[in-house]
A and B are shown apart, each in its own frame.
Chain A
């Protein structure tokens, strides 16, 4: 019988990983914008990451991955971006608006592309059969949204603020409140699945998934900004979160396809 992992164990590993990263950078290694797939404090990664280096496919202008799928009005319905209007009643929780722009590495707007989100309800429970957290389900909240980006790469969702929830990475493990995002660019190489966090969450330091991004400024890019100008009087609070897609963009397809 192994001793159950404590938060202290995981926090010590998180600190070690951060220290090792700082030393790598000090020794001249490049900034790491993405998590290492083998980041061990997130225990589920242990058997699910490749140990061989990735094989670089650079300089092949014919690579299929330099193009990507298209989405359009047939893939979206009118209320998909408003998670508070998908049922007969209003969901419980703090109503919020989340908005921002999707850009590529060159700063160009990513237009007409699909964004999908999913999240827990206000009490930290997913509408998923395998979520057995004993927090109430909300019959008026599923927690799924979709939208297409506009001509300036902009998007907007209306939803409720998700709750924190426990998980079983270690004893007393809690995920900070977050919204899952799935994004497409003009090329398959730009595909991104990530999570948006809320500013000032006291759980940040304890969470091995957020902390898997060992670079502090990269980690900060996962946190939305509260923007009072986006708050609607007597209705909802506003958050801004801009997203930059990594990877080479499509080069030979006209911009804004």
Chain B
């Protein structure tokens, strides 16, 4: 049996009061010593930052568990406000709306059993979301990973988060380019069939 899927449509410009939630990118418990910060900009084909994109992230827990945990959007049952993760359960899920400068920040713990964070990008103008991966340099052997090994070096590099020179240790840069802008390579986006 194979049912015909419901088509995708763009997230549009007005999701801002519906989808983003407070501390959406803070997957690691506050102050955890193993915290890795992955941040970057989402750019369009003119090389301009996209201020109305959303990045979602999904990853295994540090112990390798892939079941996730509820509580990413934990709510105050009195006022209904999002009060954030409880700092005990590792939900493995984050959601960040880019800011006015097209910037997003994820603070998380290194995934167990996989060298990458799985990312989805949504934006006004994007009719169907895009999948990509941010590979963490300390966990990644580019010649051993089947996806990375299958790509040309220029394309492969778009999937590698890089140490952010000048920042504290544990801060990584990962820019997402939806389209070649004449200078910078387009990010590799993935399909799962």
Does chain A have a CB within 8 A of B116? yes
For B, the interface residue count at a CB cutoff of 8 angstroms equals 75
Chain A residues in 8 Å Cβ range of B116: 64
Does the CB pair B18–A48 fall under 8 Å? no
Contacts of B115-131 to chain A: CB distance below 8 A: 116, 118, 120, 122-131
A-B contacts at CB below 8 angstroms, number = 251
Decide if B192 touches A107 in the complex (CB within 8 Å).
no
Q: What's the Cα separation between A87 and B113 when bound, in Å? A: 46
Dominant secondary structure at the B interface: loop
Is A14 located at the chain interface by the 8 A CB criterion? no
In the bound complex, how far is the Cα of B91 from the Cα of A63, in angstroms?
18
User: Does B33 belong to the interface (CB within 8 Å)?
Assistant: no
Q: Dominant SS at the A interface?
A: loop
Contact B126 A191 (CB under 8 A): no
Query: Contacts of A42 on B, CB cut-off 8 Å?
Result: 10, 125, 127
Query: Closest chain B residue to A48 by CB distance?
Result: B125
A58 touches B4 (CB 8 A): no
Complex: chain B residue closest to A129, CB-CB: B16
For A42, A45, A74, the residue with the greatest tally of chain B CB atoms inside 10 Å of its CB is A74
Residue of A33, A57, A62, A212 contacting most chain B CB atoms (<10 Å): A57
Q: Which residues of A contact B155 (CB under 8 A)?
A: 52
B78 → A minimal CB distance (Å): 9
Give 1 or 0 for each of B68-94: 1 = CB within 8 Å of chain A CB: 111111110100100000000001110
Contact across chains for B71 and A64 when beta carbons are under 8 A apart: no
The chain B residue sitting closest to A245, CB to CB, is B5
Given contacts A39-B127, A188-B58, contact A193 B11 (CB under 8 A): yes
Q: How far is the CA of A52 from the CA of B192 in the complex (A)?
A: 16
Note all chain B residues with C-beta closer than 8 A to A182. 11, 15, 18-19
Q: Assess the B45–A47 pair: CB atoms within 8 A.
A: yes
Q: Which residues of A contact B23 (CB under 8 A)?
A: none
Partner of B9 from A46, A52, A128, A209 at Cβ < 8 Å: A209
A46 to B126 alpha-carbon distance, docked (Å): 9
Residues of A within 8 A of B120 (CB): 188, 191
Q: Give A199 to B78 CA distance when docked, in angstroms.
A: 37
Which residues of B are found within 8 Å of A122, using beta-carbon distances?
none
Query: Which of A2-10, A17-25, A215-223, A228-236 lies at the interface?
Result: A215-223
Return the chain B residue nearest A195 by Cβ. Answer: B9
For A58, give its contact among B125, B129, B178, B193 (CB under 8 Å): B193
Contact A221 B7 (CB under 8 A): yes
A188 touches B118 (CB 8 A): yes
Q: What residues of chain B lie closer than 8 Å to A88, measured between beta carbons?
A: none
A42-B127, A55-B189, A143-B18 are known; give 17 further A-B pairs, CB within 8 A. A47-B179, A50-B186, A54-B189, A56-B190, A64-B58, A64-B111, A80-B80, A105-B3, A118-B18, A144-B17, A182-B19, A188-B131, A209-B10, A210-B9, A221-B6, A222-B6, A243-B6
| 25 A-B pairs in the complex with CB atoms less than 8 angstroms apart | A34-B127, A35-B127, A42-B125, A54-B191, A55-B191, A63-B192, A67-B67, A70-B70, A71-B70, A75-B72, A75-B73, A105-B5, A106-B3, A128-B16, A130-B16, A180-B9, A180-B14, A180-B15, A182-B11, A182-B19, A188-B120, A194-B8, A213-B9, A221-B7, A247-B193
Q: 9 closest A-B pairs (Cβ-Cβ)?
A: A72-B70, A44-B125, A69-B93, A118-B18, A246-B5, A48-B125, A54-B191, A35-B127, A47-B45
